[in-house]
Amino acid sequence: MTDSPRAENSPFGVDDANDVDDVTRALLTASRLLVAVSARSLAAAEDKVTLAQFRMLVVLATRGAAKLVVLAEALGVNPSTAMRMVDRLIAVGLADRRPNPENRRETILTVTPGGLRLVEEVTARRRTEIAAIAARIEPGQRAALVGALTAFNAAGGEPLVSDVEGQLFPLGWSDPSPRRNQEEA
């Protein structure tokens, strides 16, 4: 911590707004809040999927059909772990496996309409709670937060979500069909 007046006014001791450590501390704190919001939004679906399985559904819903190896990479897990997760999702009707129309020797994984509905319901609950938190932030700070988080998301490679109410898919994507991400399938 520093002894500057700015540092005294900040809960994180910020005296250089561009300091990576200060940004990291602030984002870690925000991530705790967002994890709590995520857990609450998923609570109603806990009997259907785990948090990891839900993340897989979100990846399939937002990025489209994918080969197992691509899906495992997107989730940061090994292919055998991803296969077990897919098998569980298929067993409960939330995901599907089918031959790749581009190459019949390959299998692609997709989210089913039921899986998409689950993702949309959980996302809607999450959106409502996040909007309530954002409404408690001063308008000028909200604008700064949008800019900062947009830069953070871009640096992390996370696509932007559309402004359309209830719209799950990132900007520029219209549906979870296999043709959308042929390069990934």
pLDDT of residue 19: 86
Q: Is 90 exceeded by the pLDDT of residue 110?
A: yes
Structural domain of 143: 44-156
Tell me whether residue 4 is in a domain. no
Q: Is 70 exceeded by the pLDDT of residue 63?
A: yes
pLDDT in tens, 3-33: 444 445 555 555 555 588 988 999 999 999 9
Tell me whether residue 34 is in a domain. no
pLDDT of residue 174: 39
Listed in sequence order, the DSSP H helices in the chain are 5-9, 20-42, 51-63, 68-75, 79-91, 113-135, 139-156
Mean pLDDT over all residues of the chain?
81
| b/e per residue 69-90 (b: at least 16 CB within 10 A) | ebbbebbebeeeebbebbebbe
Among residues of the chain, what percentage have pLDDT more than 70? 77
Q: How far apart are alpha carbons 45 and 65 in whole angstroms?
A: 23
Tell me whether residue 96 is in a domain. yes
Tell me whether residue 176 is in a domain. no
Tell me whether residue 121 is in a domain. yes
- Fill in the amino acid letter for 31: S
Phi, psi of 9 (to 5 degrees): -85, -5
DSSP-derived letter for residue 77 is S
pLDDT in tens, 86-97: 999 999 999 999
* Higher pLDDT pick, 132 / 182: 132
pLDDT in tens, 119-137: 999 999 999 999 999 999 9
Name the domain count of the chain: 1
Tell me whether residue 5 is in a domain. no
Q: How far apart are alpha carbons 179 and 68 in whole angstroms?
A: 16
What is the CATH classification number for the domain harbouring 68? 1.10.10.10
Tell me whether residue 14 is in a domain. no
Tell me whether residue 29 is in a domain. no
